[in-house]
Structure 1
Amino acid sequence: MLKLGGYINIVIAIAHIVGLFWADKMFEITGIGKEMATLAQKHSTLPYLLTIIVAIVFFIFGLYGLSAANKFRKLPFLKPVIFLIAGIYLLRGIGELIADTIQGTNSIAETIYSLVAIIIGLLFLIGGLQKWRAENNILL
């Protein structure tokens, strides 16, 4: 599960970078076109810089998933970071679904993004629980 979560994050990071070639279209498809246009009014490079930073975060999440799955060298603070990543994804997914329901602004795209976030969060959460539960049983 951690390996799959890691690879999914790396694919998302790459998609962010590739999407910059069609940035306006990507921003519109993901529903952040207006926000990025406002950001571009402050400085034209800000939407691109923000997207690159987000891609780096996804890439780091991916490396942590692969590290926990023993596919990459052991990274620092591995256990708490895996559960932090799970929490971030679950909070984003569940929080967005709740907020959209309360506000009555549910869209199919946003619901799909939220469900994907929940799935990735569960991959990290369940994968982390399995990994460290198995390690603890070995130590006992």
Structure 2
Amino acid sequence: MQSNNNTPLQRAKFRARQMRVEQSKIGNQLSHGQALELVAKELGYRDWNTAAALLSNYPDISVQVGDHVRGTYLKQPFTGRVLSVTEQGGGAYFRVTLDLDEAVDVVTFDSFSAFRKRINAQIDIKGDSPAKTSDGEPHLSILGHVHG
């Protein structure tokens, strides 16, 4: 995830500015506050104040092609290499492809298994997929880089 804006909070503010420009081009005038509220909703927060408070506490994971990352996929821990990163939604989301070091079993039934070694998913600026399991956990969470 590359951006001219360094932190998740700065990227969200940048997205709000982009949204105002996009909307003005089609004749819709948004105040900066309205755009911030829309960005907060786009990112899954109740309102801008909540988004700003929480985004300011998130580390910037900044994944790039070739990075070795760690995280969870369908609650299974993994490490793997980033094969591709594509910006979506003006930097609010990213489409990533990961090649896992070891395949993970994505089925929780004892009598059946389904292993995945390559993952394609959308993540937000925190590294979490907007898609959630039935108990509310992100399908994919990139937690950071593997060091060493």
Q: TM-score, normalised by structure 2?
A: 0.28
Higher relative contact order (CA 8 A, sep 6+): 1
Structure with the largest fraction of strand: 2
Scaled by the length of structure 1, what TM-score is found? 0.29
Q: Which has the higher helix share?
A: 1
